[in-house]
Structure 1
Amino acid sequence: MWSNKVDRKDGKLAMAHLYVAFIALLLGGLAGLLQVLVRTGEFQLPGNIGYYQILTVHGVLLALVLTTFFIIGFQFAGLSRTAGTLSSGVRKAGWIGFWLMTIGTAITATFILLNEASVLYTFYAPLQAHPGFYIGLTLVVVGSWVSGFGMFTHYSKWKKTNKGKVTPLLSFMVIINMVMWLVATLGVAAAMLVQFLPWSLGFVDTIDVLVSRTLFWYFGHPLVYFWLLPAYMVWYVIIPKIIGGKIFSDALARLSFILFLLFSIPVGFHHQLTEPGIDPTWKFIQVALTFMVVIPSLMTAFSLFATFELYGRSKGATGLFGWFKKLPWGDARFFAPFVGMLFFIPAGAGGLVNASHQLNQVVHNTIWVTGHFHLTLATSVILTFFGIAYWLIPHLTGRVMTKAMNKLAIVQTIVWSVGMFFMSSAMHAAGLLGAPRRSSFSTYGDAPQALEWIPYQMFQAIGGSILFLGIILILIIVINLSFFAPKGETDFPIGETAEQAEKTPAIFENWKLWIGVTIALILFAYTVPFIDMIQNAPPGSKGFKFW
């Protein structure tokens, strides 16, 4: 049976994760604001702060710390709500994972702030950071594993005590996401422990750059889906309840998550299309596998808008788009995620450009790619995370969101959308003109094309400034919901499946099958090219004793 409320002790565990996530949002957002100001050429960083130093702070805190902490906190709360109160052992694992990640974050941040690790969140070799940077990130990954195994244990316990029953949909989705995360982070852990740490500690003189980048992007692409799938959980399971409708199809939702698991990991080469040393045939194969992920994305869009239309029709809507007017536009819990869904339409189109071998040649390593990430993670995902906060935080703290806070949340969503429209549009346009990714004005100010890029850098600064205002607004709301909102009961909304939906097939929870297929796809996509990289490594990297 589902519990109507997350257990108080489980809530404290979830809230601890959320507090760290929003602190990371503030610090990372401030670094992002400084970045866009520097790129105008009219602003100089104070003291001896370096541009790539704040760029690394921005990437690590927002792309890795904010997302990982928020997602794990949300998923623990979701499991407690749908699969019952966490056992003391699972809760202990959650706290161990939390402190490992927090300590790792503190270590990593320390060396970035000391300017000993200005290597961006991708930490590409041959850029080298202080060993503390790699140790800190390794602790973050290991901490997430400990939390993940706690989630697996809780899920397994539910299955044993509810034999023959279909797992709650949200719990199923959480486990899919953590399985994907565990498999994907094996790549980055291997790169850290076997390559970067021995190299940074001076045990070896060289590093195989191609292998290190391949291991990173083996992790880096499913990282995008680790961000995205919690948003999908909300769109599939939470939003139908918020609007007063039903989940269109439990089976369709589960199938889409299984397909994301299968096709999100063995596709890292589409981030390496311009790199030598990888056979073009294997690049083509992984590009083809990348495009397979369009299928569950379109399934999701169909399912969501079917839910909206069925709800609207039940309220008397007529005509092709009459249901659109029936949606609860004044409810920030719905409005923020829905705007995120709308932004995902151009974000998905940009992703197709990035993954296409021919079109990628035009935009590769330009600021277009940065604009794409800001549409996917910084808009679709983050707006959905904000929508989660509007009901999850008061649910966990025993408070209620007032009408004033709801109105402020609506304003925050609009402010964020306007800011991102300016900034991301300018990034995409400048990218098409060849403006480089990750670069400051001082590094390209003498380029012949630089004058063409300046107006777009100004628009980026305008957009970034508006976005920072959006960060201030969301922090005001989060602080209010955490400490000052009126005491009361807030629901943790879980949707019910429509009566006419087809029964969920049992095969969807055959974990041996789906994990086996995932491993088979990974081995197929990576074994031969990986062996080729090692056998044909450049002379310098062959001296790397660990291969």
Structure 2
Amino acid sequence: MLKSSLNIKVDRRDAKLVMAHFYVAFIALLVGGLAGLLQVLVRSGKFELPAGIGYYQILTVHGVVLGLVLTTFFIMGFQLAAVSKTAGTFTNKQRTIGWIGFWIMTIGTVAAAVMILLNEASVLYTFYAPLQAHFVFYLGLTLVVVGSWAVGTTIILKYAEWRRANPGQPSPLLTFMALVNTMMWTVATIGVAATVLIQLLPWSLGLVETVNVGVSRTLFWYFGHPLVYFWLLPAYMAWYVMIPKIIGGKIFSDSLARMSFILFLLFSIPVGFHHQLLEPGIDPAWKFLQVVLTFLVVIPSLMTAFSLFATFESYGRSQGATGLFGWLKKLPWKDARFTVPFIGMLAFIPAGAGGIVNASHQMNQVVHNTVWVTGHFHLTVATAVVLTFFGVSFWLVPHLTGRKLTKKMNKLALIQGYLWAIGMTFMSGAMHAAGLLGAPRRSSFSEYGGAAQAAEWIPYQIAQAVGGSILFIAIILMLYIFVNLAFFAPKGEEEFPVGEAANQTEKAPMVFENWKLWLGITVLLILFAYTIPFIDLIKNAPPGAQGYKLW
């Protein structure tokens, strides 16, 4: 018999663990946002960094702190809350493992951040060899990954406990989604852990003189592309499950949501070569194979878009909407919990189109290593994902702290979302346009100040600075809202919205819970896509014991 584990409220002990993750995440938002503001100001050519601070130093801070720290801490906290709500309160043992993971991640974050701030690790977000950082930086990154595995173990243990208590029943949808993302993250981070522990850490300690750069970059992108879906799937969790409840509608299909997440697990990992289309040492046939696998990820993305807009239209029609787009008028546009994530959904449409360009061999050659790619990232993770995270925070933080989202905070949240949309339109739009003109990625404007072509980029660099300034104002406003909801908002009860499927008689097929099958297929796809290319990269490495000789 199915035992209902849906809690009315997340247990206060679990809430403390979740909020600890959120505190680190929002501190990272402030630090990374400030670094991003300085970065776009420098790129405008109108500003110089003070006190000997290096451009690549703040570029590394911005990428690592926002791309890795903010996202990982927020996602882990959000998933812990989702599992505690839908699968039941964590046991003391499970919660202890979660706390251990949190502190390991935090110690690793501080270690890596200190090295970046000391200018001992200005190796950018991708930390490619032959750029070399202090060994403490690599050790810190390793601790962040290992700590995340511990937090993920908490989720896995709770899922296993729920399945034992409810044999033959599909797990709660939110718990299922959190588990899929945790498994994808665990499999993907094996790549980055391998390159850091086996290659970069011994090299930075002076234990080896050389490193195979081709293998290092391949291991990074084995991790780097599923990292994008690790960011995205928690946003999908909110879109699929929470947004329908917020608007007063129903989840279009429980089974369709589960299938889309399984497809992301299968197809998000063996696709890293589409980030390496212009790199030597990889046979074009294997690049083509992974490009094909990359385009398969479009399928669950389109399934998600269909499901979401079917939910919106069904709700609108139920409220009496007529005409082709009449249902849009029925959506709760004055509710920041809906509107801010919806802006993120809209941003994901051009973001997805840009992703198709990046993954297409011929078109990729036009935009490869230009600021177009940076603009794409800012539409995906920095708009679609981050705005959804903000929208989640508006109800989850007061839910966890026993407070209320007031009308004033809701209004400020709407303003924050609109500011973000305006700022990102300026910044990301200018990045895409400048990229088409050949403006380089990662480089400061001053490095190209004497080039004739650089004159074409000036208006776009200034537009980036304008957009970045607006975004920083939105960050300050978001931090004010977060602090208010965490510490000062009136005491009360804020709903944790969990939607119900439109078809209550529908039972998700139990094949979705067959992890031997799905993980087995995932491993086979990875081995198929990477085994021979890895052998080639090692066997045909350039002169030197391990690859490129580094001086």
Q: Matches of 1:168 and 1:384 in 2, distance apart?
A: 21
CA contact (8 A) 1:419 1:462 kept: yes
* CA positional deviation for 1:164: 1.4
* CA positional deviation for 1:154: 0.7
* CA positional deviation for 1:500: 6.6
Equivalent residue letter for 1:221? H
* CA positional deviation for 1:445: 1.4
Equivalent residue letter for 1:351? G
In the other structure, the counterpart of 1:28 is 32
Say which of 13, 36, 42 aligns to 1:38.
42
Equivalent residue letter for 1:490? E
* CA positional deviation for 1:272: 0.1
* CA positional deviation for 1:499: 2.2
In the other structure, the counterpart of 2:139 is 135
Equivalent residue letter for 1:392? L
In the other structure, the counterpart of 1:414 is 418
Could you state the TM-score of these two structures normalised by the residue count of structure 2? 0.98
Q: Does 2:321 correspond to 1:330?
A: no
In the other structure, the counterpart of 1:116 is 120
Q: Matches of 1:399 and 1:149 in 2, distance apart?
A: 30
Q: Does 2:215 correspond to 1:208?
A: no
Q: Matches of 1:441 and 1:310 in 2, distance apart?
A: 49
Q: Does 2:195 correspond to 1:198?
A: no
In the other structure, the counterpart of 2:171 is 167
CA contact (8 A) 1:204 1:544 kept: no
Say which of 434, 451, 458 aligns to 1:454.
458
Say which of 214, 231, 235 aligns to 1:227.
231
CA contact (8 A) 1:218 1:265 kept: yes
Equivalent residue letter for 2:30? L
In the other structure, the counterpart of 1:445 is 449
Q: Does 2:268 correspond to 1:290?
A: no
* 1:172-212 superposed Cα distances (whole Å, 9 cap, x missing partner): 00000000000000000000000000100001111111100
Say which of 96, 116, 121 aligns to 2:100.
96
Q: Secondary structure at the match of 2:210?
A: coil
In the other structure, the counterpart of 2:309 is 305
Say which of 427, 431, 436 aligns to 1:427.
431
In the other structure, the counterpart of 2:497 is 493
* CA positional deviation for 1:447: 2.1
* CA positional deviation for 1:540: 2.1
In the other structure, the counterpart of 1:514 is 518
CA contact (8 A) 1:26 1:471 kept: yes
CA RMSD between the two structures: 1.0
Q: Matches of 1:130 and 1:143 in 2, distance apart?
A: 21
Q: Matches of 1:70 and 1:462 in 2, distance apart?
A: 28
Q: Does 2:51 correspond to 1:47?
A: yes
Q: Matches of 1:48 and 1:459 in 2, distance apart?
A: 26
* CA positional deviation for 1:542: 3.0
Say which of 370, 376, 389 aligns to 2:374.
370
CA contact (8 A) 1:249 1:501 kept: no
* CA positional deviation for 1:544: 8.9
Q: Matches of 2:545 and 2:290 in 1, distance apart?
A: 25
Say which of 64, 67, 72 aligns to 2:68.
64
CA contact (8 A) 1:416 1:470 kept: yes
Equivalent residues, number: 545
In the other structure, the counterpart of 2:477 is 473
Equivalent residue letter for 2:460? Y
CA contact (8 A) 1:250 1:501 kept: no
Q: Secondary structure at the match of 1:350?
A: helix
Q: Secondary structure at the match of 1:128?
A: coil
Equivalent residue letter for 1:486? P
Equivalent residue letter for 2:355? G
* 1:398-449 superposed Cα distances (whole Å, 9 cap, x missing partner): 0001100000000000000000000000000000000000000122212221
Q: Does 2:394 correspond to 1:383?
A: no
CA contact (8 A) 1:332 1:410 kept: yes
In the other structure, the counterpart of 2:111 is 107
Q: Secondary structure at the match of 2:544?
A: helix
Q: Does 2:238 correspond to 1:246?
A: no
Equivalent residue letter for 1:507? V
Q: Does 2:345 correspond to 1:341?
A: yes
Q: Does 2:363 correspond to 1:359?
A: yes
In the other structure, the counterpart of 2:77 is 73
CA contact (8 A) 2:213 2:548 kept: no
CA contact (8 A) 2:541 2:547 kept: no
Equivalent residue letter for 1:150? T
Q: Does 2:261 correspond to 1:260?
A: no
Could you state the TM-score of these two structures normalised by the residue count of structure 1? 0.99
Say which of 168, 187, 190 aligns to 2:191.
187
Q: Matches of 1:323 and 1:544 in 2, distance apart?
A: 59
Q: Matches of 1:468 and 1:63 in 2, distance apart?
A: 16
Q: Matches of 1:87 and 1:191 in 2, distance apart?
A: 35
Q: Secondary structure at the match of 2:495?
A: coil
Residues 74 and 543 of structure 1: CA distance in aligned 2, closer, same or farther (over 3 Å) = closer
Q: Matches of 1:544 and 1:538 in 2, distance apart?
A: 6
Q: Matches of 1:306 and 1:249 in 2, distance apart?
A: 10
Gaps spanning 5+ residues in structure 2: where?
Answer: none
